[in-house]
Chain A
Amino acid sequence: MKKNRWYLLGGLLLAVFAGFSFTAFKSSMTPYVSFERAREADRVVQVAGALEKGSSSYVDTRESLFFTLKDPKDSSTLRVRFKGLKPANFEDAVSIVAIGRYDDKAKEFEADKLLVKCPSKYQGAEVRKYS
C-alpha cells in the first residue's frame, strides 16, 4: 500500500512535468513562414531567403546589422535587423535563415538568430561543372 502511494506520487510528478514540457515546447516553437505571414504573425517565426546584394550594413549607433532578404520564388523582400555581429560567411550565403519576430512599428523583422547556408562552396554543388 505504502509503495503504491510512492508510485502514484512519482507518476503524478512525471505527468505534471510532461505537461510543463509540452507547453514549453509549444511556446518556443518557431514555425517556418513566408515573409507575408511573418509580417502578420505576432510570435517568433523563422524566414528564409537570399541576401539582396549590397543591402547589408552595420549601423554603429543602433549596434545592429541591417539587410534585405529576398524570396527566390516570388522575389518579395523583407528588411531584417539583427542585433549582433555579421556572421562569418554572410555575404556569400546562398540562403539566410532569420529567426525572430516582425516589428510593426519599425517595419522590420527583428532577428534574434541567423543561420547562414553556403553549400555551393563546400558541399560539392559546383563540382559538377568539372566532370
Chain B
Amino acid sequence: MDYLSHLYLPGALALWCALIFSLSTMWGYALALSGDAGSLTFARRAYSFFALSIVLTAMMLSLLLMMRDFRVEYVYQYSGLELPVYYQFAAFWAGQKGSFMIWLFWGTLLGLLVRKAAGKSEPAVMVIYTLTLMGLLLILVRENPFVMFGKTPVDGQGLNPLLQDNWMVIHPPIMFIGYAATAIPFAFAMAALWRRDYDGWAARAFPFALGGFLVLGTAILMGGYWAYKTLGWGGYWGWDPVENASLIPWIFGTVLIHGLHMERAQSRYRRANYVFTFLAYISVLYGTFLTRSGVLADFSVHSFVDLGISGWLTLLLGGFLLLGLYLIVTRWKEIPTKPNEDPFLSRGTFMVLATITLLTLALVITAGTSAPLLTRFMTSPSQVGPSFYNRVNLPIALLVAFLLALVPYLAWRGNAWREVAHKLVWPGFFSIIVTIVAAVWRVEDVFHLVFILLASLALATNLQKTVGKLRGPSGLRGAGGYLAHVGVGVILLGVIASAGYDQSTKVTLVQGVPREVDGMTLTFKRFIPRQGREKERMEVEVARAGQQPFNVYPKLFINDRTRQVMVNPDIKSSPFQDLYVSPIDFDPGQPRLQLAKGQSGKIGDMEVRFEGFDLQAEGNAMAAMAAGKEVTIGAVLAVTRSGRTVPLKPLYRLNPASGSVETPPAPLPGGGEVVVSGINATSGAVQLDLSGIPNPAKLSLDVTRKPLIQLVWGGLYIVLFGGVLATVQRLREVRIREKIGQV
C-alpha cells in the first residue's frame, strides 16, 4: 500500500492496463496460431486497447509535465517553473524513463501498421512484435514514471540547459521512431523462421526497413546538426558512444535494405537477410544497454547514471539474442537458397563485397564503442579515441567509394572488363579533374587524393545512371538507389575536406581593436546584453579584403539557475566553407576584484595581491569593536604595475552604531584609485573597486574555417531523398503484388 500511495494512479493504471492488454494480445494471437480463427478478432481488439492504453499513459505524463505537477518525481527532475512551454513538452524525453516511454509509444503505434501489413502471417509477426514491446513495457512498470514524492516541491529542477534547444524538441522523438522501427523487420523475419514460411516476408518488410533507415538517418542528421550548430562541440560527429549507438543500427539497416534488394531482384541472400534483421535489432538493444546501464558512465560526454535497470536491459538483450540465434540456427539448413554462380565482375559479386565491407564497418565501430567493456577483462578499462575510428574507417571508406563507383555499370549476369572500362571514361575524366583541383588546392596526402578520386568517381557514375533512370519508364521513382549513392559520394568528399583540412585559430580580441586572423580582420565590437529570450551575445565584425564586412554573434552566457557558462557558436556559411566562431572566454573589463588572503588578481596592466587585513590601522580594531566604537580595518595590498611593486593600504571604516561605512580611496601608482568596497569577515576576503585605469573588455575566440562542410549536409539530404524515392517504389510493388494475389 505504501508503494501505491507514492504513485500517480491515473498514469500508473493506464500503464498497468497496457501490460494486461499486451498479455491479452499475445494470448489471442497464440490461440489464433493454434488454429482458433475466432480469437484473431479478440487479439486485434486487445492490441488496439493496448495501443490506446499506451497513448493514454503518454498523454498523462505529457499532461503532468505541462501542468508542472512537481509532486511527480519525473516532472520535478526535468521541468521547472521558468521553463517555456515547448521545453515542458520536450522534458518528456529528457530522462531515462521518458525515453523508454516515447520509444514504446512509437513502437505501439507502428504496431498498428505492422498488423495491417503482415497479411496471413499476422499472428506470428504480432506475437514477436508485441514481445519486443513488452520488454520496454516491463522496464517502465518497474521504473514507473509516475512515482510521486510525499511532499510537493515548490519548483522543479529544470531542464539541463544544454538540452534547452529547438533541436531537443524534435531530434529525440524522431530518433526513437527509428529505434522502434528496427523491431519490425526483425519481427517479420523471426515469424517467418518460426512458421517455416520463408517466402513473402521480405517484400512486406522491405518498406519498413527502408522507412526505418530513413527516419534513423534523419535523426542522425539532426543530431549532427545540433552538435555542430549550437552545442559548440566544434564538429558534427565525435564518435561518442551515444552517437555510435545510433550509427551502428543505421549501418546494419543499410546492409539490410541492400540484402532485401538482392532477395527481391535475384532471390539471393535468403539466409543472410534473417541475420541482418537480427543484427539491426540487436544492435539497437545493445546500444541501449551500453548507453543506459551506466557501464560507460565515465567514457561519454552524455551523462549516464545507472537507474537500476542494467539487469533488465541485460535480460532484454540476452533474451532476444537467444531467441534470434535459436530460430536462425535451427532453421538454417531448411531455408531455400540459390548458389552463387555470378562471375566476378557482376553486380551480385559487388553487392556481396559491399555487404562484407559495411558489416566490417559496423563491427569496427561496435568494437570501438565497446572498448571499455572489452578492456575491462584485460587491463584497466580503457576507451579508444576518435583516432581509432578515423584510421580504421579510412580504408573502409576507400573500398566503399570504389564499389559504389563500379556498381552502376554492372549487370546481374556479369560484364566484360572492357565494357565497364569504356563506360568509365567520362566519369573518370570528371574525377581526375576533381582530384587535380584538390591537389592544387591543398591536399598532399596520397591516401586522401585516392579517396577524393574514388569518391568523385562514385558521385559521377551514379549521377550518370540517375540521369539515365530519369528517362526510363518509372522516371524519378526508379532512380532512388542511384541517387542515394550520389549522396554518399558527396558526403565522402565533404567529410574529407571539412575534417581533414579545417583550420583553427584561437585569438583574444580587445574591444574595438581590429586583429588579423588567418587572412581576415576580426574586431570585437560590443557585448549585447540579454534582450527577452535572446541571450547575451558578442558582436564581432569579420572583414576580408575585397568583401563586404559582416558581423557574427557568438553567444556566451550564464544560465541563471545553474550558474553554468553556456557557449553557442555562430556560423557564417558560404558556398565553399563555413566560418565557425566559438567563444572561449569573456573578460568584461569590470574593475572589481574579490580576493582571499594571499590571492592576486589582474586588472588591465595591473596585478593586485591581497596580503591580509591590518587590524591595527587606526588603533586596535578588535578593542574598538568590543567597545562599540568606530572600527577601522586596512587592506594590505601589493600592487604591481609596469614591473614596479608598491605596497598600499586602503582603509575601511565602519561605525557600528549608525552602520555607516567610509572608504577613503587610495591612489594607485601610475594613476587611478582603489577603494575597499566590501569585506567578508568569515572568509577573510576583500572586495576592491578600481577606477581610472584603462581596462577594455576582452573576448577570446576559437575561429575555425571548415571547407566544403555543406557537402556533408547536402549529401545526407540526397541520400535521404533517394531513400524516400526507393520507399515509394517498394510500397507500390507491395500493393501491386497484393492486387495480383501473389503474397
Chain A interface residues toward B at CB < 8 A: 6, 10, 14, 17, 20-21, 24-25, 27-33, 44, 46, 48, 58, 60, 63, 83-86, 88-92, 97, 99, 112-113, 115-119, 121-127, 130-131
Q: Which residues of B contact A46 (CB under 8 A)?
A: 383
Decide if B562 touches A121 in the complex (CB within 8 Å): yes
Interface residue from A14, A33, A88, A125 paired with B380 (Cβ < 8 Å): A33
The complex places the Cα of A32 from the Cα of B376 at a distance, in Å, of 10
By a CB distance below 8 angstroms, the chain A residues around B371 are 25, 29
Q: Are B375 and A29 within 8 A (Cβ)?
A: yes
In angstroms, Cα B76 to Cα A7, docked, is 60
How far is A6 from B348 in the complex, measured between Cα atoms in Å?
Answer: 14
A21 to B366 CA separation, bound complex (whole angstroms): 12
A131-B585 contact given A29-B382, A117-B303, CB 8 Å threshold: no
Given contacts A99-B385, A131-B149, contact A88 B565 (CB under 8 A): yes
Kindly list chain B residues whose C-beta atoms are within 8 Å of the C-beta of A17: 360, 395
Instruction: Judge if B658 is at the interface, Cβ distance under 8 Å.
Output: no
Determine whether B387 belongs to the interface, using a CB cutoff of 8 Å to chain A.
Answer: yes
Contact with A along B363-391 (1 / 0, CB 8 A): 01001100100010001111111011001
Report Cα–Cα, A83/B344, bound state, in Å: 52
Q: Which residue of A lies closest to B153 (CB)?
A: A130
- Does B567 lie within 8 Å of A28, measured CB to CB? no
Partner of A84, one of B298, B562, B584: B584
B620 within 8 Å of A by Cβ? no
- The main secondary structure of chain B at its interface with chain A is mixed
Contacts of A91 in B (CB 8 A): 563-565
Nearest 10 CB-CB pairings of A with B? A28-B388, A85-B584, A31-B382, A29-B382, A63-B506, A60-B508, A31-B380, A123-B305, A89-B564, A58-B585
Smallest CB separation, B74 vs chain A (Å): 9
Q: CA A24 – CA B367 in complex, angstroms?
A: 12
User: A92 and B563: CB pair below 8 A?
Assistant: yes
CA distance A44 to B388 in the complex (A): 13
Within 8 A of A (CB), among B680-732: 698, 700, 702
Q: Using known A-B contacts A25-B367, A29-B383, A30-B383, determine if residue A88 contacts B388 with beta carbons closer than 8 Å.
A: no
Given A85-B584, A86-B585, CB of A25 within 8 Å of CB of B562: no
How far, in Å, is A100 (CB) from chain B's closest CB? Answer: 10
CB of B381 within 8 A of CB of A32, answer: yes
Checking A10, A21, A31, A130 against B392 with a beta-carbon cut-off of 8 angstroms, the contacting residue is A21
Report if B39 contacts A (CB, 8 A).
no
CA distance A6 to B151 in the complex (A): 71
Is B300 part of the contact surface with A, judged by Cβ < 8 Å?
yes
B624 at the interface (CB under 8 A from A): no
Q: In the complex, what residues of A have CB within 8 A of residue B565's CB?
A: 86, 88, 90-91
Decide if B582 is an interface residue (CB 8 Å cutoff). yes
Given contacts A91-B565, A115-B301, A122-B157, contact A60 B381 (CB under 8 A): no
In the docked arrangement, what's the CA distance between A91 and B566, Å?
Answer: 12
Interface contact B395-A119, CB-CB below 8 Å: no
Q: In the complex the two chains form, is A130's CB within 8 Å of B563's CB? A: no
CB of A39, distance to nearest CB on chain B (Å): 16
Residue contact A84 to B702, C-beta cutoff 8 Å: yes
Partner of A88, one of B162, B303, B383: B162
**Neighbouring A residues of B346 by C-beta, 8 Å:** none
Q: Which residue on B lies nearest to A89, using beta carbons?
A: B564
Interface pair A24/B392, CB less than 8 Å apart: yes
Residues of chain B touching chain A, judged by Cβ–Cβ distance below 8 Å, are: 73, 76-78, 149-151, 153, 157, 160-162, 232, 297-301, 303, 305, 344, 353, 356, 360, 364, 367-368, 371, 375, 379-385, 387-388, 391-392, 395, 506, 508, 562-567, 582-585, 698, 700, 702
Minimal beta-carbon separation of B698 from chain A (angstroms)? 7
Q: How far is the CA of A86 from the CA of B700 in the complex (A)?
A: 11
Residues of A near B299 (CB, < 8 A) are 97, 115
9 pairs from A and B in contact (CB 8 Å cutoff): A14-B360, A21-B392, A25-B392, A32-B380, A84-B584, A97-B299, A121-B157, A122-B78, A126-B157
Known: A32-B382, A90-B565, A130-B149. A118 touches B508 (CB 8 A): no
- Return chain A residues, CB-CB under 8 Å to B149: 127, 130-131
Nearest chain B CB to A118's CB is how many angstroms away?
7
Q: Known contacts being A30-B385, A60-B508, is A85 close to B585, with CB within 8 Å? A: yes
Which residues of chain A come closer than 8 Å to B391, judged between CB atoms? 24, 28
Residue pair A97, B381 in contact (C-beta under 8 Å): no
Taking A32-B380, A32-B381, A130-B151 as contacts, is the C-beta distance between A58 and B700 under 8 angstroms?
yes
Cα–Cα distance between A25 and B385 once the two chains are bound (Å)? 9
Other than the known A29-B382, A63-B506, A122-B157, what 16 A-B pairs have Cβ atoms closer than 8 Å?
A: A21-B392, A25-B384, A28-B384, A31-B375, A31-B379, A31-B380, A31-B381, A32-B381, A58-B700, A85-B700, A85-B702, A86-B565, A89-B562, A116-B301, A123-B303, A127-B149
Instruction: Give Cα A116–Cα B384 distance, bound, in whole angstroms.
Output: 18
In Å, the complex CA distance between A10 and B344 comes to 12
Least CB separation from B341: chain A residue: A3
Contacts of A27 in B (CB 8 A): 388
Question: In the assembly, what is the distance between CA of A130 and CA of B387, in Å?
Answer: 45
Residue numbers in B under 8 Å from A123 (CB-CB):
77, 303, 305
Q: Is the CB of B379 within 8 A of A118?
A: no
Distance between Cα atoms of A121 and B561 in the complex (Å): 11
Q: Give B383's nearest chain A residue, CB to CB.
A: A30
A87 to chain B, nearest CB (A): 9
Alpha-carbon separation in the docked complex, A121 to B381 (Å):
27
Bound CA span A32–B584, Å: 28
Docked-complex contact B298 and A32, CB < 8 angstroms: yes
Contact indicator B367/A21 (Cβ below 8 Å): yes
The answer to whether B385 and A28 have CB atoms under 8 Å apart is yes
Query: CB distance B385 to A44 under 8 Å?
Result: yes
A112: which B residues are within 8 A, CB to CB? 385
A109 to chain B, nearest CB (A): 16
Minimum Cβ distance to chain B for residue A127 (Å): 6
Q: How far apart are the CA atoms of A32 and B564 in the complex, in Å?
A: 27
Nearest CB of A to B599, in Å: 8
Most buried by A among B353, B367, B384, B566: B384
A124 to chain B: which residues have CB within 8 Å? Answer: 73, 77, 305
A127 touches B506 (CB 8 A): no
A119→B379 contact, CB < 8 A: no
* A48, A83, A131 — most chain B CB neighbours (10 Å): A131
Set of chain A residues within 8 Å of B380, measured between Cβ atoms: 31-33
Q: How far is the CB of B593 from chain A (nearest CB, A)?
A: 14
Residue of B367, B368, B383, B395 contacting most chain A CB atoms (<10 Å): B383
How far, in angstroms, from A12 to B149 measured CA to CA in the complex?
62
User: In whole Å, how far is B107's beta carbon from the nearest beta carbon of chain A?
Assistant: 25
- B701 nearest CB across to chain A (Å): 9
Across-interface contacts of B700 in A (CB, < 8 A): 58, 60, 63, 85
Residue of B nearest to A86 (CB): B565
Residue from the list A32, A97, A122 in contact with B160, Cβ < 8 A: A122
Q: How far is the CA of A83 from the CA of B506 in the complex (A)?
A: 10
